[in-house]
Structure formats: C-alpha cells, structure tokens
Chains A and B, each alone.
Chain A
C-alpha cells in the first residue's frame, strides 16, 4: 500500500502552471505549441521561453513538470516528434508522457535517463500491456484509461511494478482514448494525429430562435434551449435524431469527480491523481487544484475518517461540464 499519492495538474500556459504550483500541485503537465500533444488548440501551450520559466518556477518550489507528447506521429512527420522528445530532455523536464510505442523506443534509446510515462492515449487497460511497455521501454508510470472499475484498477496495481496514475476529475468523453475516430470522421482532424478533438476552426456557435446551435464542420451537434447547460462541441456528446427521438445517442456530457473514492485509491496503491483540463484557464486550474490539494491532504492524514467537505463539491460542480458529475467506470459494484 502506498502511503502517498501525487496531485498532477494541467497547465495550458505559464499562468496556469504557476497557479497550479501555488495552489499545491505536486506535478504539472504541459505541452508544446504544436500537434505533438493532444491539446493542440490555437494559442494554447508553451513556447520555449514560457516553458523554461515554468520549469524554473516549479522546480524552485519542489514541483515536477511533465510534458505530454501523447499523439501518434505518422511516417511523414516522425522527425517533428523525435525533435520534441529531444527538446523536452534538453529542458530538463521530470518526465515525458508518451502514447506511441515507436516514440517510446526512440526516447528510451536516445535518452535512457529520461523518465517515461505511458499516456492515457496509449490505451493500456491491463497489466500485461503495461508490463510490456516496462520491459521494452522502461516506463515508470502508466495513466489508466477511464474505463476500468475500481476492482479492475486494483487488479492492475497488484500485478505491475509500474506506478499507476488515474484520472480524478474533469470532462469525460467516450473514453476510447488513442483510438477514437469521431472527430476525424467529422472534421478530418483527430486528437490522435492532429492533437485536438473538434478543433476551433471547424466549430461554430449560433444563437437561433430555438436555442444555441453548435455545429462541427457544418454538422449540427446540439441545440441548447435557453438556460440549458452546454457541453463541448464533440460528436460523442451531441444529441441526434434516432428513430424519431432526439437524445444523447452516444452519451450525455458529464464530468468525472472521484473525491469520494480517494481513501480507496490511496489504499489500493494509486501513485498519482490526474486532473483533466489543459484547455481550461488559470481560474479553473486554481479552483480545482485548491480543492484536490485539501482533499488529498485530508485523506492522507486520516484515511479512515475522510469526509467530503460540501464546499469542495460546490466548487467542483460549478466548473464541471454537463449536467452531472459521475464516478464513471470506477463505480461498477457488480464487478
């Protein structure tokens, strides 16, 4: 059983990184300003100057900086991804988060001292896959896809020496990470190779007499009535007409919130809790980091008597996507 776990917070820019550090993150994860990471949104992410300053700021305060290089290079653009690995190593980041096995091989061979994390985009849901990556590329940590029940997560932890990181909070999607083709189907651009799901250049919002319409590359994804909560413009969270009924044909927008599972996550030996949202602003990062720091400190102090402060839930519900917060796949009592 681990006696401690790390809080891993998102940063889409230098102010968000500093906010995460100031509010109690143990690690901050970031990305370069290109398609080598899965949050390649216009204007987001770090240029060299801000990354250098961010790493210095974090390291001075004992906080680690991770770089996500978690998209899949293609044969024509391979050098761009290896250059990104080299750059991350040169910057002195604490780890890089990879999804592509070829890139892992490159990183392991070229920078044997560089710590490698397996991204959620690598979609490894069982300990055999994780142990394979450990054996071949010496990965030190794996981020589990959000599809496993608590019992399955525990089974993975028990059967691998690799540190296991799980998502604690943030927007959910269909969770076919690294394999989802929905955005690619509608727009020709997917998080796997382009680095963004539903990129801004193909998204349009329009207020109409019947509500706010969201279109993705011309496809009507949803129409929100006045005062109805909106979600991100992704196909998986759209409402579609199927057999004369209009509903969330794939899934309802929802946000993961696992605060109540913290004692169990600590007990089964989870080493890190990840907060989703590099596309969000410093305000979000500050709000969510503050709550999770307080909750994780409370559970570490006294795991047997951990209770959720109502203010934590109010704060987190305010910033969540969708109508509901959920435990996601963790909560499958029948498993």
Chain B
C-alpha cells in the first residue's frame, strides 16, 4: 500500500528513542488499534479485495511496533477488522520497528529483505502472513499524481462523486 503523501526518495533508517517504547507500552493500545482497523476497513472492498482474505475470517492478529511500544490486537470477521481486548493468543504476530512498517506500506522495502536482515519477524501461522503480504503486494494502487490535486481537479472529482453517490457504497 502506498501512503497518501510523498515520501523522501529513501526513508532514512531510524529507531524511535528507547524511552518511547517504555512509555508506549504503558499507554492504552486502543487508540492506535482503532486507527489501524479503521484504515484497514476503509480499504476493504475498495483497495483490498475481500475474496482472497476469506481464510483470515475468525483469525486474530497482533502487530507489534517494537520501538513505539505499541501492540495492536485485532481480528478479522465477515464484517471486517475489529479490535480485540482479551489476551487470547494471536494466530499471527508481526513485529518490526515503526520505520520499517512505514517503508513496507510505502512499498519501499521488500518484506523478505527485512526478514533476512532480522528487522521483520513473523510468528504463528506463516501461511496467513504470506496471504496478507501477497494480497497487499497484489493491490494495484493508483499512482500518486500531483496534477490530480489541483483545486479544479478536486472540484471536478467531487462533483462527479456527488452526482453518482446515492446508493453507492
């Protein structure tokens, strides 16, 4: 997936300061989890196809942003992604630093490269991880084109959307 803004040519290598991991660990995990599942649900059926994700139904995931002390637990069901609050073991845990998650989302880094370098760890059901990785890699995103962000272009798109919105999903 790509980000809605332009990243520098190459994301610099950084690790968040160590105290942040300790602090983050003590903060409520719900806000970042909610933000993550909301983002995923927005993409579902639009950018991310639902059909290949069917094997994920009923599965639990844990995303650990190690240098931010963040642990986001969520599950996937017929209605999409939702946060989970119990401590039942996840089916798949993916751990990496914030920088590497961003680079993966921006398609700047290859997950296998990060794995070889021990910067990405996948524990649990590896096949679920492959499914997620390959499904996201298969998402053909529209290119970022600054010319589409001019005021007249945005107004044109807004008008087009309003004209077709009733009943549209």
Which of A's residues lie within 8 Å of B, judged by CB? Answer: 12-16, 18, 41-44, 50, 53, 199-201, 203-207, 212, 224, 226-231, 279-284, 287, 318-322
Q: Nearest Cβ in chain A — how far from B93, in angstroms?
A: 9
Expressed in whole angstroms, the Cα–Cα distance for A50 and B52 within the complex equals 14
Whether B134 sits at the interface, judged by CB under 8 Å, is: yes
Apart from A18-B140, A42-B130, list 7 A-B contacts with CB within 8 A. Answer: A13-B137, A15-B141, A42-B131, A44-B138, A199-B127, A283-B107, A283-B108
- Bin chain B's interface residue count: 20 to 34
Residue of A nearest to B49 (CB): A47
> Separation in Å of the B123 CB from the closest CB of chain A?
6
Interface residues, chain B, with chain A CB atoms under 8 Å away? 52, 55, 107-113, 115-118, 121-127, 129-135, 137-141
**Contact residues in A for B133 (Cβ distance below 8 Å):** 43, 281
The answer for the CA separation of A230 and B129 in the assembled complex, in Å, is: 17
Q: Are B140 and A14 in contact (CB under 8 A)?
A: yes
In the assembled complex, 6 residue pairs joining A and B whose CB atoms fall closer than 8 Å, in A order, are A43-B132, A43-B138, A201-B127, A224-B118, A284-B112, A284-B113
Asked if residues A229 and B130 are in contact (CB atoms below 8 Å), the reply is no
Residues from chain B with Cβ under 8 Å of A204 in the complex: 123-124, 126
- Chain A nearest CB from B102 CB (Å) reads 13
CB-CB under 8 A from A227, the residues of chain B are 118
* A279/B127 in contact, CB under 8 A: no
With beta carbons under 8 angstroms apart, the residue of B108, B110, B127, B139 that contacts A42 is B127
Say whether A206 contacts B123, CB under 8 Å. yes
Instruction: Give complex CA distance A229, B120 in Å.
Output: 12
Query: How far does the alpha carbon of A16 sit from the alpha carbon of B111 in the complex, in Å?
Result: 14
**Residue from B124, B125, B130 in contact with A41 in the complex, judged by beta carbons closer than 8 Å:** B130
Which chain A residues border B141 with CB–CB below 8 Å? 15
A15-B140, A282-B137 known; A43-B52 Cβ under 8 A:
yes
Q: Residues of A contacting B55 with CB < 8 Å? A: 42
- Interchain CB contact under 8 A, A319 and B138: no
Contacting pair B113 A318 (CB below 8 A): yes
Q: List the B residue with the shortest CB-CB distance to A54.
A: B140
| Interface pair B137/A205, CB less than 8 Å apart | no
Nearest residue, chain B, Cβ from A196: B130
Contacts of A224 in B (CB 8 A): 118
Is the beta-carbon distance between B116 and A320 smaller than 8 angstroms?
yes
Asked whether, in the complex, the Cβ of B138 is within 8 Å of the Cβ of A14, the reply is yes
Q: Which of B107, B116, B129, B137 contacts A200 (CB 8 A)?
A: B129
Smallest CB separation, A144 vs chain B (Å): 25
Q: Is the CB of A212 within 8 A of B121?
A: yes
Nearest A-chain residue to B55, judged by Cβ? A42
Contact of B130 among A16, A200, A228 (CB under 8 A): A200
Known: A41-B134, A281-B112. A205 touches B121 (CB 8 A): yes
Find out whether the CB atom of A231 lies under 8 angstroms from the CB atom of B116: yes
**Centre residue among B126, B131, B132, B135 by max chain A CB count within 10 A:** B126
